[in-house]
Structure 1
Amino acid sequence: MEALLSTVHYWLVDHPAISQYEWKEGHTLGASPLFVAVTVISYLSVTLSLRRFAVLPDLSSAATLRYAAATHNVILCLLSLAMAAGCTLATLRQTPIHGRRWVVCFPAAVTLPRGPVFFWAYVFYLSKILEFRDTLLILLSGSCSRRLSFLHVFHHAGVVVGSYALLATAQSMLPVAVVTNAAVHVLMYAYYFLCALGHRPRWKKLVTDCQIIQFVFGNTMSGLMLYYHFTGSGCSGIWAWFFNTVFVALLLTMFLDFHSTNYSSKKRKDHDN
């Protein structure tokens, strides 16, 4: 068992490609505002065009689409698991060196985006672009009017910008953001994987509940970060934190509305029946 844990730790934290990782603005793949702008604008343009003009065929009954969806979801489920585990182990490795405060407050002006925690943040950033395929699968499934909501598109586009900001500014709270979001996505993509196989679990509401809890927990931890920021020498990436906090607050508002609309009305309907 010890040998297994040592092997896992090596491949998730100690491998040279991970332990010696460094984000270099303008050199690392995707490490530029131009890349982010082109990526997000392209996503929005293609999505809106495909939905407006309905040029894609309805493949809702095609077995190929179900297999493609299952493959996509299981890949992102396993990738999310790797990110959650890898970033957790990397954070535990570095916390004794920097202190527990470091988990929510990287020291301002001296923190550089390098090391295993930032490696997993980079994988997290790239995974958000990979998640654009969620939208394509919805468009191909012929369920645009029901599933392709403003919340879905806003979420997918905005999280790419926020993930870039995490890395570009070595933003404090990064370990909390990556671990909690990746953990929730393990559950979410496991749910969609089972749906693609034709087995729709009864815990869809749990996925939304966990997403809401994630946002609330992040905002709570942000309070601790702000305390450290204003009572000490400052926390790194405070402006990126501000952007991501506003973005998360908007998402939380929309998720609460989604939760109320979809689950409260269903509960009332079941009660009336």
Structure 2
Amino acid sequence: MGQRVLKSLTFWLSEQPAIVNFRWSPTQSWGSTWSFLFTAIAAYIAAATALHLLLTLFRRRRPVPLGPIPAFHSLSVALISAVIFVGTVLSATAEIRDTRWLWGRTKTTTPLQWLLCFPLGTRPSGRVFFWSYAFYLSRFLHLPRTFFTVLRRRKLTIFTLFNQSILIFMSFLWLEFSQSFQVLAILLTTLLYSVVYGYRFWTEIGLPRACFPLVVNCQVVLLVCNLVCHFMVLLLHLFKGGCNGIGAWGFNSVLNGAILFFFLNFYVKKMHSRKSRAADHDEASSTHPGSVNNKVKDS
């Protein structure tokens, strides 16, 4: 039974002709032009900002009821991320098996090097790039969460708009320039999204939350893994004859650095705000008559 399931998954997620023969091109791939990319990002920023200003203008303080929509969205993103993760694993395994990424037709390169560093001249076609394209399209499924945040009357931050826009832009660069490192990046990111959005679905249907900030911790783990992998790509490029798409990789590294800076800044401010509120609460409770009586009783 297990073998049948594995064979079925392998065929549908890595051996279909549409996957094997995939090619990234403006004529064959929807959303593969620069004009589409910039138009989509601009429309997203404009729509989110307009919605935020509209709610502010009408001074609506209560959250807009969204019903089961956020929960359904989280479940959808979690499942799609899991499919992309499994498809990428199976496709990368098939590519390694077919030895399409060997440098100089030697057997000295390890699978980890294949995943980190594409050989020079690699074109965006085949199994792995099909799932890279699926990942690029899935990035647009994350955008509604920004509108959920605005409708719930939470603050719309520049970090949110910047982060979502940059992630779409980077996934486009992966395909456009056959950038190295994208395989591991997709695996790490989709694995994290499966956990994070699965957890969000869990909490949005009313189940108990974790006793620690799971989402933030997952984001920190992803950022650390990305930094380590970027350093390894640089070493491979310098000492193993070069990696494909290194120019896009360099720009990608700068964007990742910007995301890390904004994230740390946002995280520090958020933790400082929580500590300030906790301190104010403790101070208020210490001067409350009820708390004084409780202390007397305890003593």
Same fold (TM over 0.5): yes
Partner of 2:23, secondary structure, is: coil
Q: After superposition, what is the alpha-carbon deviation per residue over 1:127-157, rounded to whole angstroms, capped at 9, x for unaligned? A: 11121111122222222x2xx3222111111
Q: Summarize deviations over 1:74-132 as a string: whole Å, max 9, x none.
A: 11000011111111221122224134222111112x20111111111101101111211
2:152 aligns with: 141
Amino acid at match of 2:213: K
Find the counterpart in structure 2 of residue 104 from structure 1: 116
Contact 1:191 1:200 in 2 (8 A): no
Check whether the contact 1:191–1:204 (CA below 8 A) recurs between aligned residues: no
Counterparts in 2 of 1:242 and 1:25: CA distance versus 1, 3 Å: farther
Secondary structure of 2:122's counterpart equals coil
8 Å CA contact 2:135, 2:171 repeated in 1: yes
State the identity as a percent: 26
Quote the Cα distance in structure 2 between the aligned partners of 1:18 and 1:36: 23
Gaps of 5+ in 1: none
Q: Is structure 2 residue 221 aligned with structure 1 residue 213?
A: yes
1:76 aligns with 2:77: yes
> 1:47 aligns to what SS in structure 2?
helix
Instruction: Supply the distance in 2 between the matched residues of 1:29 and 1:204 (Cα, whole angstroms).
Output: 40
The one-character-per-residue Cα deviations of 1:186-233 (angstroms, maximum 9, x if unpaired) are: 111112212321235125612211212212211211222112212233
In the alignment, structure 2 segments of 5+ residues that lack a partner are 102-108, 283-299
**In structure 1, how many angstroms separate the alpha carbons of the residues matched to 2:207 and 2:61?**
21
Q: What letter corresponds to residue 79 of structure 1 in structure 2?
A: I
- Superposition deviation, residue 264 in structure 1: 6.5
Is the Cα contact below 8 Å between 2:14 and 2:91 reproduced in 1? yes
Q: Is the 8 A contact 2:64 2:151 kept in 1?
A: no
| 2:259 paired with 1:247 | no
Does residue 224 in structure 1 map to residue 232 in structure 2?
A: yes
**In 2: Cα distance, 1:140 partner to 1:17 partner:** 39
Bigger shift: residues 194-203 or 245-254: 194-203
Who is 2:294 aligned against? none
Confirm or deny: 8 A CA contact 1:212 1:252 kept in the other structure.
Answer: no
Correspondence list, 1:1-273, <5 A: 1-54=2-55, 60=63, 62=65, 65-96=66-97, 97=99, 98=101, 99=109, 100=111, 101-108=113-120, 110-143=121-154, 145=155, 148-202=156-210, 205-263=213-271, 266=274, 269=278
Secondary structure in 2 aligned to 1:78? helix
TM (norm. structure 2) is 0.81
Aligned residues: 266
Distance 1:4 1:267, change over 3 A: farther
1:212/1:142 Cα in 2 relative to 1: closer, same or farther (>3 Å)? same
Q: Which residue of 1 aligns with 2:295?
A: none
- Work out the CA distance in 2 between the residues paired with 1:11 and 1:49: 42
Alignment deviations for residues 230-258 of structure 1 (CA, whole Å, 9 cap, x no partner): 22332111121112111111212222233
User: Does structure 2 conserve the Cα–Cα contact (< 8 Å) formed by 1:166 and 1:240?
Assistant: yes
Residue deviations 1:5-50, cap 9 Å, x none? Answer: 1111112111222122111145411111100010001111111111
The answer to whether the 8 A contact 1:177-1:218 is kept is yes
Partner Cα distance (2:18, 2:246) in 1: 28
